[in-house]
Structure 1
Amino acid sequence: MAYVDEAGFMPQPPNRSAWTKQGETHCVTAKRGQRLNLIGAMFSSGKLMLAKLWRSVTGLFFFAF
């Protein structure tokens, strides 16, 4: 038996929203960087298994892990 989970990390957080004073033009430059994704499994024996990916983790990849 194993417990599996995935998490992603970015050095630059995404710009999801911003405040702009009334009458001013809203302008936010979105910086995009690579995202590091980690998948880990902890087995009932206490052993750990990890995978680090600099790409998107699809459901198929997660299932294959």
Structure 2
Amino acid sequence: MKDEWGASAAKAVPVAGGNFWLWLSSHDINWWVAVATLAYIGASFVFAWRKDRRDQRARERESSHA
């Protein structure tokens, strides 16, 4: 049974890879700019949230030592 699964997976890899490449190359520059913009906004949000949490923990430590 495992051999059948392995053989099926090996046969599907070129097809899946080809479909992924077609999907990847079919987008124009505006699509990539939009993706990059969303990634930048998301990363900015995550970094700001992490910084806020770090600052909040520092304030809590300062207030507990006082």
TM-score range, shorter chain: under 0.3
TM normalised by structure 2 equals 0.23
Higher relative contact order (Cα pairs below 8 Å, separated by 6+ residues): 1
Larger Rg computed on CA atoms: 2
Point out the structure with the larger strand share: 1
Point out the structure with the larger helix share: 2
